[in-house]
Amino acid sequence: MELLLIRHGLPVRRELTEGRADPELSEEGRQQAEHLRQYLSSEQLDAVYASSLARAVQTAEPLVVDRDLELVVEPDVAEYDRDSPEYVPVEELRAANDPRWRAMLDGTWQEQDEGTAEFGGRVLGAIARIVERHRSQRVAVVCHGGVINAYLVDVLGLPADSRGFFYPNYTSIHRVAAASSGERSIVTVNETSHLRGTGLPMGIFQGG
Protein backbone atom coordinates (compact mmCIF):
# COMPACT_ATOMS: atom_id res chain seq x y z
CA MET A 1 0.00 0.00 0.00
CA GLU A 2 0.99 3.65 -0.38
CA LEU A 3 1.01 5.64 2.83
CA LEU A 4 0.87 9.44 2.61
CA LEU A 5 1.98 11.07 5.85
CA ILE A 6 0.97 14.74 5.65
CA ARG A 7 1.87 17.49 8.07
CA HIS A 8 -0.92 19.90 9.05
CA GLY A 9 -1.11 23.51 7.84
CA LEU A 10 0.11 26.55 9.76
CA PRO A 11 -1.86 26.98 13.02
CA VAL A 12 -2.42 30.12 15.06
CA ARG A 13 -0.26 30.89 18.07
CA ARG A 14 -1.88 30.03 21.39
CA GLU A 15 -0.42 30.34 24.88
CA LEU A 16 -2.52 29.45 27.91
CA THR A 17 -1.74 29.39 31.61
CA GLU A 18 -3.48 26.04 31.95
CA GLY A 19 -5.38 23.54 29.82
CA ARG A 20 -4.68 22.29 26.33
CA ALA A 21 -3.76 24.81 23.64
CA ASP A 22 -4.85 22.73 20.60
CA PRO A 23 -4.81 25.66 18.14
CA GLU A 24 -6.86 25.79 14.95
CA LEU A 25 -5.46 26.61 11.52
CA SER A 26 -4.56 30.18 10.68
CA GLU A 27 -5.96 31.75 7.52
CA GLU A 28 -2.69 30.87 5.78
CA GLY A 29 -3.03 27.31 7.06
CA ARG A 30 -6.52 27.03 5.56
CA GLN A 31 -5.16 28.24 2.23
CA GLN A 32 -2.38 25.66 2.43
CA ALA A 33 -4.96 22.94 3.07
CA GLU A 34 -6.97 24.04 0.03
CA HIS A 35 -3.88 23.89 -2.19
CA LEU A 36 -3.18 20.43 -0.77
CA ARG A 37 -6.74 19.36 -1.66
CA GLN A 38 -6.37 20.58 -5.22
CA TYR A 39 -2.99 18.88 -5.59
CA LEU A 40 -4.31 15.50 -4.44
CA SER A 41 -7.67 15.76 -6.22
CA SER A 42 -6.45 13.67 -9.16
CA GLU A 43 -5.22 10.83 -6.93
CA GLN A 44 -7.33 7.97 -5.66
CA LEU A 45 -7.49 7.97 -1.86
CA ASP A 46 -9.03 4.95 -0.21
CA ALA A 47 -9.05 6.43 3.29
CA VAL A 48 -8.15 9.66 5.06
CA TYR A 49 -7.07 9.75 8.70
CA ALA A 50 -6.24 12.69 10.96
CA SER A 51 -4.88 13.07 14.45
CA SER A 52 -7.32 14.29 17.07
CA LEU A 53 -5.77 17.78 17.20
CA ALA A 54 -7.69 20.61 15.53
CA ARG A 55 -4.92 21.66 13.14
CA ALA A 56 -4.71 18.14 11.70
CA VAL A 57 -8.48 17.63 11.46
CA GLN A 58 -8.96 20.97 9.70
CA THR A 59 -6.18 20.17 7.22
CA ALA A 60 -7.68 16.75 6.48
CA GLU A 61 -11.31 17.81 6.11
CA PRO A 62 -10.90 19.25 2.57
CA LEU A 63 -9.39 15.93 1.42
CA VAL A 64 -12.70 14.10 1.85
CA VAL A 65 -14.72 16.77 0.01
CA ASP A 66 -16.12 15.32 -3.23
CA ARG A 67 -14.93 11.83 -2.24
CA ASP A 68 -17.12 9.05 -0.90
CA LEU A 69 -15.09 8.96 2.30
CA GLU A 70 -15.50 9.84 5.96
CA LEU A 71 -12.61 11.36 7.87
CA VAL A 72 -11.29 8.92 10.47
CA VAL A 73 -9.80 10.46 13.63
CA GLU A 74 -6.87 8.51 15.07
CA PRO A 75 -5.73 9.95 18.44
CA ASP A 76 -2.51 7.94 18.46
CA VAL A 77 -1.00 9.98 15.61
CA ALA A 78 -1.29 13.21 17.65
CA GLU A 79 1.90 15.15 18.41
CA TYR A 80 4.10 14.40 21.44
CA ASP A 81 3.09 17.73 23.05
CA ARG A 82 -0.64 17.23 22.45
CA ASP A 83 -1.50 18.24 26.02
CA SER A 84 0.75 21.32 26.11
CA PRO A 85 -0.84 24.63 27.20
CA GLU A 86 1.05 26.50 24.46
CA TYR A 87 1.73 26.28 20.75
CA VAL A 88 4.06 28.76 19.10
CA PRO A 89 4.98 28.13 15.45
CA VAL A 90 8.74 27.62 15.34
CA GLU A 91 9.01 30.27 12.61
CA GLU A 92 7.80 32.86 15.11
CA LEU A 93 10.34 31.69 17.67
CA ARG A 94 13.07 32.01 15.07
CA ALA A 95 11.96 35.46 13.87
CA ALA A 96 11.96 36.79 17.44
CA ASN A 97 15.24 35.05 18.32
CA ASP A 98 13.27 33.59 21.22
CA PRO A 99 15.36 31.77 23.87
CA ARG A 100 13.41 28.61 23.03
CA TRP A 101 14.64 28.85 19.43
CA ARG A 102 18.24 29.31 20.59
CA ALA A 103 17.82 26.30 22.89
CA MET A 104 16.64 24.21 19.94
CA LEU A 105 19.71 25.22 17.96
CA ASP A 106 22.21 24.41 20.71
CA GLY A 107 20.48 21.19 21.78
CA THR A 108 19.53 22.34 25.29
CA TRP A 109 15.77 22.52 24.67
CA GLN A 110 13.95 20.55 27.36
CA GLU A 111 10.42 19.53 26.41
CA GLN A 112 7.82 18.64 28.97
CA ASP A 113 6.08 15.92 27.03
CA GLU A 114 5.67 12.23 26.60
CA GLY A 115 8.89 10.23 26.57
CA THR A 116 10.55 9.24 23.32
CA ALA A 117 9.87 5.52 23.76
CA GLU A 118 6.22 6.01 24.71
CA PHE A 119 5.62 8.46 21.87
CA GLY A 120 7.33 6.27 19.30
CA GLY A 121 5.45 3.22 20.48
CA ARG A 122 2.01 4.74 20.08
CA VAL A 123 2.84 6.33 16.71
CA LEU A 124 4.34 3.18 15.21
CA GLY A 125 1.51 1.08 16.60
CA ALA A 126 -1.15 3.34 15.12
CA ILE A 127 0.47 3.47 11.68
CA ALA A 128 0.98 -0.30 11.70
CA ARG A 129 -2.75 -0.74 12.33
CA ILE A 130 -3.60 1.61 9.47
CA VAL A 131 -1.25 -0.20 7.09
CA GLU A 132 -2.71 -3.58 8.05
CA ARG A 133 -6.25 -2.28 7.55
CA HIS A 134 -5.60 -0.92 4.04
CA ARG A 135 -3.52 -3.42 2.12
CA SER A 136 -3.03 -2.53 -1.58
CA GLN A 137 -4.63 0.88 -1.06
CA ARG A 138 -3.54 4.53 -0.91
CA VAL A 139 -4.16 6.19 2.45
CA ALA A 140 -3.53 9.73 3.68
CA VAL A 141 -2.72 10.34 7.35
CA VAL A 142 -2.68 14.01 8.36
CA CYS A 143 -0.54 14.37 11.43
CA HIS A 144 2.46 16.29 12.79
CA GLY A 145 6.17 16.91 12.32
CA GLY A 146 7.18 14.79 15.29
CA VAL A 147 4.98 11.91 14.13
CA ILE A 148 6.48 11.99 10.63
CA ASN A 149 9.98 12.12 12.08
CA ALA A 150 9.27 9.18 14.39
CA TYR A 151 7.98 7.00 11.57
CA LEU A 152 10.73 7.83 9.08
CA VAL A 153 13.35 7.34 11.79
CA ASP A 154 12.00 3.81 12.21
CA VAL A 155 11.92 3.12 8.45
CA LEU A 156 15.50 4.36 8.09
CA GLY A 157 16.72 2.43 11.11
CA LEU A 158 18.01 5.54 12.91
CA PRO A 159 18.21 5.83 16.72
CA ALA A 160 14.79 6.43 18.26
CA ASP A 161 15.88 9.76 19.76
CA SER A 162 16.57 11.18 16.26
CA ARG A 163 12.96 12.32 15.86
CA GLY A 164 13.98 15.89 14.96
CA PHE A 165 16.44 14.87 12.25
CA PHE A 166 14.63 16.89 9.56
CA TYR A 167 11.93 19.54 9.28
CA PRO A 168 8.62 18.62 7.56
CA ASN A 169 7.11 21.67 5.87
CA TYR A 170 3.46 22.66 6.33
CA THR A 171 1.13 20.37 4.35
CA SER A 172 4.18 18.47 3.10
CA ILE A 173 3.57 14.93 1.85
CA HIS A 174 5.86 12.03 2.77
CA ARG A 175 5.11 8.87 0.80
CA VAL A 176 6.03 5.42 2.04
CA ALA A 177 5.47 2.14 0.20
CA ALA A 178 4.43 -0.39 2.83
CA ALA A 179 4.41 -4.04 1.77
CA SER A 180 2.29 -6.65 3.55
CA SER A 181 5.51 -8.62 4.08
CA GLY A 182 6.84 -5.84 6.29
CA GLU A 183 9.18 -3.99 3.94
CA ARG A 184 9.00 -0.19 4.00
CA SER A 185 10.43 2.10 1.32
CA ILE A 186 10.47 5.89 1.40
CA VAL A 187 9.18 7.25 -1.91
CA THR A 188 9.17 11.03 -1.31
CA VAL A 189 10.04 13.41 1.54
CA ASN A 190 8.78 16.99 1.95
CA GLU A 191 6.70 16.98 -1.23
CA THR A 192 5.41 20.57 -1.39
CA SER A 193 5.05 21.51 -5.05
CA HIS A 194 1.44 22.53 -4.34
CA LEU A 195 2.75 25.53 -2.37
CA ARG A 196 5.30 26.72 -4.95
CA GLY A 197 4.45 30.17 -6.28
CA THR A 198 1.60 30.70 -3.79
CA GLY A 199 3.48 33.07 -1.50
CA LEU A 200 2.34 30.99 1.48
CA PRO A 201 4.82 30.00 4.18
CA MET A 202 6.21 26.50 3.88
CA GLY A 203 8.38 26.23 6.96
CA ILE A 204 11.52 27.50 8.60
CA PHE A 205 13.69 27.59 5.52
CA GLN A 206 11.31 28.10 2.60
CA GLY A 207 8.43 30.21 1.40
CA GLY A 208 6.02 29.48 -1.41
pLDDT band, very low/low/confident/very high, at 110 (cuts 50, 70, 90): low
- 208 belongs to a structural domain: no
Cβ atoms of 8 and 55 within 8 Å: the answer is: yes
Helices (H), 75-167: 90-95, 99-106, 116-133, 145-156
For 114-128, give the secondary structure using H, E and C.
CCHHHHHHHHHHHHH
- 203 belongs to a structural domain: no
pLDDT, mean of residues 31-46:
98
- 205 belongs to a structural domain: no
- 200 belongs to a structural domain: no
pLDDT band, very low/low/confident/very high, at 109 (cuts 50, 70, 90): low
Cβ atoms of 7 and 145 within 8 Å: the answer is: yes
Element (H, E) at 156: helix 145-156
Structural domains in the chain (count): 1
pLDDT of residue 191: 97
pLDDT of residue 162: 80
**Domain harbouring 83, CATH code:** 3.40.50.1240
- 206 belongs to a structural domain: no
Element (H, E) at 177: strand 173-178
pLDDT of residue 53: 98
Give the pTM.
0.94
- 11 belongs to a structural domain: yes
* Domain range for 155: 2-195
Identify the CA nearest to 131 among candidates 70, 77, 78, 192. Answer: 77
- 55 belongs to a structural domain: yes
